[in-house]
């Protein structure tokens, strides 16, 4: 998966007048971003100078953003890194990028479809699965509904639409 990009944050808007930006974090903490320093951001590269925690996310300064106008122009821009640059996940943890594209089978091994998205609407992760005919359904990403993840995602038959 060397070409896979992983989103760590999105620019939510400007903070102040000197080019700082508010970030919505998809990572655990501002320290997760501080480890990487360089991000792809909508076709350009941004170099992280500073980052600090803030209510609802973080405040960051990038070398390439000099003022409020430049910061506002990047509102909604997603900051990504290469999947290969992330550390291996702990047992029982998964990067969303690793789940997307995995085949989905039931506990008997019958093919159900493929994972096309991982969503989180506030109550926990949900896998969006596309069946061979194109119909999609969602399954909570919990041990009850998804007892195993490996080369394929195993979904309990009770959760299959």
pLDDT tens, residue by residue, 19-67? 999 999 988 789 888 889 999 999 999 999 999 999 889 999 999 999 9
Q: Where are the domains of the chain?
A: 5-85, 96-159
Q: Which residue in this structure is represented by tokens 């041990």?
A: 143
What 3-state DSSP class applies to 65? coil
* pLDDT band, residue 108 (cuts 50/70/90): confident
* pLDDT band, residue 3 (cuts 50/70/90): low
- CATH 2.160.20.10 for domain 96-159, yes or no, is no
Per the structure block, which two tokens stand in for 99? 């789940």
Four-way CATH pick for 5-85: 2.40.128.720, 3.30.70.1450, 3.40.640.10, 2.40.30.60 = 2.40.30.60
Report H helices in 47-113: 68-73, 96-99
């Amino acid at each position: 998966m060397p070409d896979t990009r992983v989103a760590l944050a999105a620019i939510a808007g400007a903070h102040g007048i000197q080019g700082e930006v508010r970030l919505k974090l998809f990572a655990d903490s501002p320290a997760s971003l501080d480890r990487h320093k360089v991000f792809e951001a909508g076709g350009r590269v941004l170099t992280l100078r500073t980052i600090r925690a803030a209510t609802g996310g973080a405040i960051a300064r990038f070398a390439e953003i000099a003022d409020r106008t430049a910061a506002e122009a990047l509102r909604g821009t997603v900051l990504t890194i290469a999947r290969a640059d992330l550390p291996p996940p702990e047992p029982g943890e998964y990067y969303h990028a690793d789940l997307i594209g995995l085949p989905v089978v039931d506990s008997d091994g019958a093919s159900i479809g493929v994972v096309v998205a991982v969503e989180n609407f506030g109550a926990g992760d949900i896998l969006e699965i596309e069946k061979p005919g194109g119909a999609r359904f969602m399954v909570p990403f919990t041990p009850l509904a998804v007892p195993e993840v490996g080369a394929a995602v195993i979904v309990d038959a009770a959760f299959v639409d």
